[in-house]
Amino acid sequence: MEFKDKVAIVTGAARGIGAATAWTFAKRGATAVIVDINGEGAQKVAADIQAKGFNAIAFTVDVSNTEAVDAMVEEVFQKYGHIDILVNNAYISGGYAIVTETSQETWDKVIAVNLTGSFNFAKAVAKKMIPQKSGKIINISSGAGTSGSLSSGVQYPASKAGIIGLTLGLAGDLAPFGINVNCITPGLIRTWEPEEMAKQATGWTLEKVESYIAVEVPLKRVGEPEDIAETVVFLASKAASYIVGEVINVDGGGVIDSVAKRESLLGF
C-alpha cells in the first residue's frame, strides 16, 4: 500500500479518467479527494469507493473559481494536515467550430476551466506542499496540445498546450522544494462507449472512431481510463522520484507517424 495515509486530490473525478484515477489511488491506500463541478457524480464516486472499504471524500467545486478552490484546499489541509498529490484533470472541450465562428465566450470558458483551473489548484496546493518539502503534481494535457486536433477547434488544443507550459513553469519553481511536477498527454481514451464517443466527438461517426483507431493507433485499441490512471499513479510513486517536467504520451503509439496515417489523410 504505497499510498497509505497519502491525500490525493483529483479534479474532474466524477467520471472518466478522473474517477478511474481516484479509484486507483484509493485502492492503493490513499484518501481520494474527489473534486468536480458535478457534485452528485462526485458524491457517488466517493460513496462507491467507501462502500469497498477505501477512503474517499467529495467536494463540489468549479476549478475556475479561485476562491472556491482556495477554500477547498484549506479545508482538506485542515482535515488531514497534509496534501501529497494533485491531479489536474477537469476539463471542457467547448465543441468544434472553425476559428471564425468560435465565440469569445467559448474561448474564455475553456481557458478558464482547463488552464486557469489547473493554475488555481497548483497554486493553492503548492502553498501547502512547499513547507512540507514534498508533493507530486500531475497535469493532464492531451495529444491535441502537442499535435493539434482537426475536431477540437482552437480553444481546446490551446488550453492543453498551455497545460504543458504550466507544467514546465511549475516544475522549475517547485523542484527545489522536493515537489515533482509532470504531465500526461493521453490519446483517445474510452471515457464513453464507442457509440457515445461518436456522438460526443463532433462530426464523428462510429465508423470514423473505428477507422481512427485502426489507422492512428499502432496498438489497435482505444485507451482505457485505467491506462491513464496507472501512469498518474506511477508519476506519484517513489519509482518516479527523479522525473520532473516530463510530458508522457499515453496513446498506444498514436504519436508515431506512419504511412497509413499519411495515406488516410491524403485519401489514398
Ligand X SMILES: NC(=O)c1ccc[n+]([C@@H]2O[C@H](COP(=O)([O-])OP(=O)(O)OC[C@H]3O[C@@H](n4cnc5c(N)ncnc54)[C@H](O)[C@@H]3O)[C@@H](O)[C@H]2O)c1
156 among known catalytic residues: yes
Distances (CA, A) of 147 to 23, 213, 240, 249: 30, 17, 26, 11
- Nearest distance in Å: CB 267, ligand X: 25
Residues between 36 and 75 with contacts to ligand X, criterion CB under 6 A: 36-38, 41, 62-64
Q: Does 123 help bind ligand X (rule: CB under 6 A)? A: no
Q: Which of 183, 185, 157 is nearest to 168 (CA)?
A: 183
DSSP 133: T
Instruction: Find residue 35's DSSP bridge partners.
Output: 11, 59
Distances (CA, A) of 235 to 136, 225, 230: 8, 16, 9
Interacting residues of 2 by C-beta distance below 8 A, sequence separation 6+: 28, 29, 237, 238
Segments in 100-205 forming alpha helices (H): 104-110, 117-132, 144-147, 155-174, 194-200
What counts of helices (H) and strands (E) characterise the chain? 11, 7
Out of 10, 17, 179, 217, point to the residue binding ligand X (CB under 6 A).
17
Q: Does 87 help bind ligand X (rule: CB under 6 A)? A: no
- Nearest distance in Å: CB 140, ligand X: 4
Element (H, E) at 226: helix 225-235
Stretch that binds ligand X, among 45-53, 90-98, 205-213, 255-263 (CB under 6 A): 90-98
Number of residues that bind ligand X (CB under 6 A): 26
Residue 136-175 contact track with ligand X, rule CB under 6 A, x = bound: ----x-x---------------------------------
Residue with Cβ nearer ligand X (30 or 115):
115
Q: Which of 91, 156, 212, 242 is catalytic?
A: 156
Out of 43, 120, 152, 191, point to the residue binding ligand X (CB under 6 A).
191
Site for ligand X, rule CB under 6 A: 11-12, 14-18, 36-38, 41, 62-64, 89-92, 113, 117, 140, 142, 186, 188-189, 191
Active site residues: 156
